[in-house]
């Protein structure tokens, strides 16, 4: 018999193609900065403060900072490569065509708008995407302690090769959210998985939680 074709749409993520990048001036890493076609490499900072900034067609390579403030910032065609950012505050930001590798620790990105965002090989302790609008987002080969999607709107999302210790989908609105490649250890608000795709093996784990969520007693 021919194999059935999946109906779950994959995220549409285009590679980032940079032109010539100028060496970035660390003094311009400040509130409401306008950074375009620059590269920052091998920086170790106490804090990286870019609230309200516009960063476009730029690359951050091997940059570390104890605290990072990206609240309300707009990132367009930006690569964060091999970063070490233990605390990232990025609430209500707009990220479009962004690729991230490295360690982000706690990522507060509630009520954000993400499109074409790809996390690869990242270690993430807490990802707060409550109330966010997510389109074409992928997590690949990541370790995630907690992924909070409470009240988020998520479409064409893929979590592949990842371990997610805790997933919270209470009141989430999911469309084409592919979780088949993830190891899910704990799920909150399991009835919020409507619109997600899971594997038969995952269903065996999720079934008791679904039963509990809809009030079915299993004896």
**CA dist., res. 196 & res. 15, Å (int):** 25
**Tell me, what's the pLDDT at 202?**
79
Which of 87, 187, 100 has the alpha carbon at shortest distance from 139? 100
pLDDT of 187 higher than 60? yes
**Tell me, what's the pLDDT at 189?**
86
**CA dist., res. 87 & res. 109, Å (int):** 11
| 198-207 burial: b if 16+ Cβ within 10 Å, else e | beeebeeebe
Alpha helices in 32-190 (DSSP H): none
What are the pLDDT digits (tens) for 123-161? 999 999 999 999 999 999 999 999 999 999 999 999 999
* Token pair listed for 113: 């708008």
Question: Three-state DSSP class for 193?
Answer: helix
Cα 153–Cα 155–Cα 156 angle in degrees, nearest 5: 155
For the entire predicted model, the pTM comes to 0.91
**CA dist., res. 46 & res. 85, Å (int):** 10
pLDDT of 172 higher than 50? yes
Domains defined for the chain, CATH in brackets: 44-214 (2.160.20)
């Amino acid at each position: 018999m021919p194999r059935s074709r999946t109906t779950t749409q994959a995220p549409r993520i285009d590679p980032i193609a940079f032109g010539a990048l100028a060496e970035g001036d660390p003094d311009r890493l400040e509130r409401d900065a306008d950074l375009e076609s620059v590269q920052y490499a091998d920086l170790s900072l106490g804090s990286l403060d870019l609230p309200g900034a516009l960063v476009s067609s730029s690359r951050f390579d091997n940059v570390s900072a104890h605290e990072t403030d990206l609240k309300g910032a707009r990132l367009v065609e930006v690569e964060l490569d091999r970063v070490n950012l233990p605390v990232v505050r990025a609430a209500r930001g707009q990220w479009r065509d962004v690729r991230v590798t490295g360690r982000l620790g706690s990522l507060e990105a509630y009520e954000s708008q993400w499109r074409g965002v790809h996390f690869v090989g990242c270690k993430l302790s807490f990802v707060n995407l409550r109330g966010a609008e997510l389109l074409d987002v992928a997590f690949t080969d990541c370790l995630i302690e907690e992924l909070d999607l409470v009240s988020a709107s998520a479409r064409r999302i893929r979590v592949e090769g990842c371990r997610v210790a805790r997933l919270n989908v209470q009141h989430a609105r999911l469309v084409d959210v592919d979780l088949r490649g993830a190891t899910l250890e704990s799920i909150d608000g399991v009835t919020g998985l409507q619109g997600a795709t899971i594997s038969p093996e995952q269903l065996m784990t999720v079934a008791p939680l679904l039963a509990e969520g809809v009030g079915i007693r299993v004896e």
